[in-house]
Chain A
Amino acid sequence: AQSVAQPEDQVNVAEGNPLTVKCTYSVSGNPYLFWYVQYPNRGLQFLLKYITGDNLVKGSYGFEAEFNKSQTSFHLKKPSALVSDSALYFCAVRPSGNTPLVFGKGTRLSVIA
């Protein structure tokens, strides 16, 4: 069965420092991978996706993610964190075609000034 793991419930980082939010997946075949962000009492906002091609994907608000097929990982990164990046981040996978997205449990990012 397909699954997504976000091993850290909480990540704390100082403003201006690089940040990484980890994600690993377990899916057969070539999945589509996504990152979303959620602010309190709001829906999810799409950040970026990997479908095929270059392993480094750039997305909204300066975020990027690196797809690593051998490690089945898709970690979210940003070179310099902002306080406004503090939110809940979700990694998701779409196993194939038009199947529904499967989400990880989320990682709460806290950027401290």
Chain B
Amino acid sequence: DGGITQSPKYLFRKEGQNVTLSCEQNLNHDAMYWYRQDPGQGLRLIYYSQIVNDFQKGDIAEGYSVSREKKESFPLTVTSAQKNPTAFYLCASSGRGQKNTEAFFGQGTRLTVV
């Protein structure tokens, strides 16, 4: 089936450790996004990519890194520089043109620092 797959669903990180969240889509979408969700704060944009091998910082990029080597994949690394990484992370993608303006979301990864 078509869609966006995020893995793992739950992830635990020790202090000082880098972790990578996976996001794969088979919708043939050009653009992909990473958002962070915290209670009462809505969704905040971390990074986005509109084309392979290119990506842009969002509002809260510090302490995160991404890559876009393939159209289907947009992994997010939460580095040890991110001081408060505990949150729900959502990956999304969207196509081109007015008929494809909405973003489709994965089921999310809940990251907890232990």
Q: Which residues of A contact B (CB under 8 A)?
A: 9, 32, 34, 36, 41-46, 49, 51-52, 90, 94, 98, 100-106
Contact = CB atoms under 8 A, between A and B. Distances in A.
A42 B106 CA distance: 8
Contacts of B33: 100-101
Contacts of A105: 40-42
B71 interface: no
Contacts, number: 56
Contacts of A51: 98, 101
A41 to B, nearest CB: 7
A105 B41 CA distance: 5
B43 A41 contact: no
Question: By DSSP majority rule, is chain B's interface helix, strand, loop, or mixed?
Answer: strand
B90 A100 contact: no
A73 B58 CA distance: 25
Contact of A43 (B48, B98, B107): B107
19 contacts: A36-B105, A41-B88, A41-B110, A42-B108, A43-B6, A43-B90, A43-B107, A44-B92, A44-B105, A46-B102, A49-B101, A49-B102, A98-B96, A100-B33, A100-B45, A101-B92, A103-B35, A103-B42, A105-B41
Nearest to A36: B105
Contacts of A106: 40, 42
B107 A42 contact: yes
Contacts of A41: 88, 108, 110
Contacts of B102: 34, 46, 49
A51 B102 CA distance: 10
